[in-house]
Amino acid sequence: MKPIREIHHPLALEKIGQLREHATDVSTFRRIVAELSTFLAIECTDDLATETRTIQTPIAQATVVRARDEVVLIPILRAGLGMVEGMLLWIPSAKVGHLGMYRDPDTLMPVEYYANTPAGMNDSVVIVLDPMLATGGSATAALGLLKARGAKHIKLASIIAAPEGIAKVQSHHPDVQIYAVVVDEGLNSHGYIVPGLGDAGDRIFGTL
Ligand SMILES: O=P(O)(O)OC[C@H]1O[C@H](OP(=O)(O)OP(=O)(O)O)[C@H](O)[C@@H]1O
Ligand SMILES: O=c1cc[nH]c(=O)[nH]1
Ligand SMILES: [Mg+2]
């Protein structure tokens, strides 16, 4: 089982504090989600396979590196959409598929309503995007669907993760590396992350 990679960085933690604040307005919230997503993109791609070639600088020949792996981003709608732009700043050539899922408020079980993923994901590095990993039900279902469609090298990028969600994903998908900016205390009786930031989708899209 892969241990979670929690990112400790003073400025990332400062941004998390702004996301948590109830008073943070929607444009600031969106911008910070995008910034933290770029930060997660850097972490998630630090083991991509590379190849080298020789080029000519104005001074001399140099051996330069380029990434060989194709990257596919899979945001889980809605909240995961807020992470796409920031991820693409760092991985501009990534393909983007979409999974629509919401969590039933009574059962907390994920309900799938849309799935559009690129063909030929077998050899790609697939990064699932969801800012909140709470019970882990949505992420676990998304990872199962992607594996059924051929994905083999999958990562999960979240901004805030709860220990319960991490444990669930690790038990069902021990091969998937989870990245989170922070791991919070746990869940409340409604399945919300504590202290968390509330409903990420509503805060990104201004639908509170
Ligand atoms: O780990 P889980 O317990 O499954 O919870 C996490 C899910 O809940 C939220 O989605 P939500 O149902 O609020 O849909 P939305 O993104 O459309 O707001 C969040 O964006 C995750 O997808
Ligand atoms: O705290 C939570 C839990 C699930 N989904 C959210 O958006 N926030
Ligand atoms: Mg929501």
How large a percentage of the chain has pLDDT more than 90? 98
pLDDT tier for residue 19 given thresholds of 50, 70 and 90: very high
When mean pLDDT is compared across 3-7, 81-85, 200-204, the lowest value belongs to 3-7
Arithmetic mean of pLDDT, 21-26: 98
User: Ligand 1 center to residue 148 CA distance, Å?
Assistant: 21
User: Which residues contact residue 70 at a Cβ distance below 8 angstroms, ignoring those fewer than 6 apart?
Assistant: 93, 95, 123, 124, 125
The response to whether residue 200 sits with its C-beta less than 6 Å from ligand 2 reads yes
| Dist CA 57 CA 141 (whole Å) | 48
Tell me the pLDDT tens digit for each residue of 91-139. 999 999 999 999 999 999 999 999 999 999 999 999 999 999 999 999 9
- Mark the binding-site residues for uracil, compressed into ranges: 193, 198-200
ipTM: 0.97
Residue 131 is predicted with a pLDDT of 98
Instruction: List Cβ neighbours of 71 (8 Å cut-off, separation of 6 or more).
Output: 45, 48, 91, 93, 94, 95, 124, 125, 126, 127
Please report which ligand is nearest the Cα atom of 142: 1
Atom in ligand 2 nearest the alpha carbon of residue 131: 7
pLDDT digits (tens, 9 = 90+) for 54-96: 999 999 999 999 999 999 999 999 999 999 999 999 999 999 9
Residue of the CA atom closest to atom 11 of ligand 1: 102
Distance 111 CA to ligand 3 centre (A): 12
How far away, in angstroms, is 136 Cα from ligand 1 center? 9
Task: Render pLDDT for 139-151 as a digit per residue (tens, 0 to 9).
Answer: 999 999 999 999 9
Distance 143 CA to ligand 3 centre (A): 19
Q: Is the CB of 164 under 6 A from ligand 2?
A: no
How far apart CA 138 and CA 154 sit, in angstroms, is: 15
pLDDT at 8: 82
Instruction: Tell me the CA–centroid distance for residue 201 and ligand 3, in Å.
Output: 4
**Minimum CA distance residue for ligand 2 atom 2:** 192
- For residue 181, pLDDT over 90 is answered with yes
Any atom of ligand 2 within 6 Å of the Cβ of 187:
no
Overall pTM surpassing 0.95 (yes/no): yes
Q: Which atom of ligand 1 is nearest to the CA of 200?
A: 20
Q: For residue 208, is pLDDT > 90?
A: no
Task: Dump the DSSP string for the chain.
Answer: -PPPEE---HHHHHHHHHHH-TT--HHHHHHHHHHHHHHHHHHHTTT--EEEEEEE-SSSEEEEEEE-S-EEEEEEETGGGGGHHHHHHH-TT-EE-EEEEEE-TTT--EEEEEEE--S--TTSEEEEE-SEESSSHHHHHHHHHHHHTT--EEEEEEEEE-HHHHHHHHHH-TTSEEEEEEE-SEE-TTS-EESS-S-HHHHHHT--
Calpha distance 195→200 (Å, rounded): 13
pLDDT classification of 36: cutoffs 50, 70, 90: very high
Annotated binding site for 5-phospho-alpha-D-ribose 1-diphosphate: 78, 103, 130-138, 199
d(CA 208, CA 200): 10
**How does 139-168 read in b/e, with b if 16+ C-beta sit within 10 Å?**
bbbbbebbbebebebbbbbbbbbbbbbbeb
C-beta 44 within 6 A of ligand 2? no
pLDDT at position 10 is 97
